[in-house]
Amino acid sequence: MSFETLISILDSTIRLGTPLLLACLAGLFSERSGIFDIGLEGKMLVAAFLSAAVAYLTHNAWLGLLAGIAGSLVFSMIHGLASITFRGNQLISGVAINMLASGITVLVGQNWFHLGGGTPALSDSARFNDITLPLAKTLSGVPYLGRIYDQLISGHSILVYVAFLAVPATWWVLFKTRFGLRLRAVGENPSAVDTAGVSVVGLRYGALVITGILCGLAGSYLSTSLAAGFGKEMTAGRGYIALAALIFAKWRPWQALGATMFFGFLAALSIRYATIDIGFLVIPSEFMDALPYILTVVILAGFVGKAIPPRAGGEPYVKER
């Protein structure tokens, strides 16, 4: 494999890993607060649709982004209402959100654009275009490092940089702030938090707001940056892969970056090579596509380290029994 090929595969890794990363961090906030969220897929889908639709109508990618985040927030709050306020089953609420999103995007899309649930192709002004970082062109002549800077680090959409900055930000919020400490505590032992006089419900809703915003970014990236417009079911299971990455990362932010980029790398490899020949055996690309799920099962089964989810995850908090 030449240096050029490697760079282009890593470049593709970043593009494919970014929506996973954003969704994974979204899930991290929610699950750390004790709310299981398998509705990441649905929230991304709604955000992708609204971003593309609003960006198309207003010719402004930023307004699209805001609309996408708003849509994702609404779905996040529905999840919160069902699972925090009404103490419903969090998994069922998540499934319901996925199904609702999958149906409503096509229904509304067909009604607005008459294109079978998709939006028309977006023009350049309605998309987040790739930005070139300063000095990228002048440094591109420098061997290796210059090329890495020019082709790998520079030349992505702004949402990619936001996603990468969200990793240290998440780490800082979770582990260095009072809010983060309480958030982690509410996912482990909500009654202790309650005893300390902090609102469990408030904290969990707060976590879901962050989840909604991050899912909104992920969806918006898919439809207004990676692609140019919405197509039905365009998230194509990325929400579930993000959940798998979350387990793979054992609910920690830096590991989430590693896990999502690793899964992105697998996807990029399977796109670049239909089959991978490693001397004594040939690996089909379908295997690469399935690998994230296989790895998650292996981790969950406890073969490689143990994945311990937040202890209070999945259980609605009841103050008095």
Partner 1 sequence: MSLMPKFLCAAAALALTAGTAFAEPAIIYDLGGKYDKSFNEAAFHGAERWAKESGKKFREVEIQSEAQREQVLMRLAQSGANPIAMTGFAFADVLNKVAPEYPKTKFAIVDSVVKQPNVESIVFTEEQGSYLVGMMAAMASKSGTVGFIGGMDIPLIHKFECGYAQGVKAVNAKAKVIVNYTGTTPAAWNDPVKGGELAKAQMSQGADVIYAAAGGTGVGVLQAAADGKILSIGVDSNQNYMHPGQVLTSMTKRVDNAIYNVFKAGADLKPGVKVMDLKAGGVAPAMDANNAKLVTPAMKAAVEKATKGIEDGTIKVHDYTTDNKCPVN
- Where on the chain is the footprint of partner 1 (CB under 8 A)? 4-5, 8, 11-12, 15-16, 115-118, 121, 222, 226-229, 231-234, 236, 268, 271-272, 274, 286
Residue 261 CB, nearest approach to partner 1 (Å): 15
> For residues 94 and 109, which CB has a smaller minimum distance to partner 1 in the complex?
109
> For residues 27 and 229, which CB has a smaller minimum distance to partner 1 in the complex?
229
Residue 94 CB, nearest approach to partner 1 (Å): 22
Residue 20 CB, nearest approach to partner 1 (Å): 12
Give residue 128's region: left, alpha or beta (phi > 0; psi -120 to 50): beta
Residue 163 CB, nearest approach to partner 1 (Å): 16
CA dihedral of residues 134, 139, 145, 147 (deg, nearest 10): 90
Residue 285 CB, nearest approach to partner 1 (Å): 9
> For residues 205 and 265, which CB has a smaller minimum distance to partner 1 in the complex?
265
Residue 25 CB, nearest approach to partner 1 (Å): 20
> How many residues can be counted in the chain?
321
CA angle 65, 267, 26 (to 5 degrees): 40
> For residues 116 and 168, which CB has a smaller minimum distance to partner 1 in the complex?
116
> For residues 13 and 296, which CB has a smaller minimum distance to partner 1 in the complex?
13
Please name which of 250, 256, 244 lies closest in space to residue 306, comparing C-alpha atoms. 250
> For residues 274 and 281, which CB has a smaller minimum distance to partner 1 in the complex?
274
> For residues 234 and 243, which CB has a smaller minimum distance to partner 1 in the complex?
234
> For residues 62 and 287, which CB has a smaller minimum distance to partner 1 in the complex?
287
Residue 120 CB, nearest approach to partner 1 (Å): 10
The beta-strand segments (E) located in 180-272 are none
Residue 290 CB, nearest approach to partner 1 (Å): 12
- Residue 131, SS3? strand
Residue 77 CB, nearest approach to partner 1 (Å): 28
> For residues 233 and 315, which CB has a smaller minimum distance to partner 1 in the complex?
233
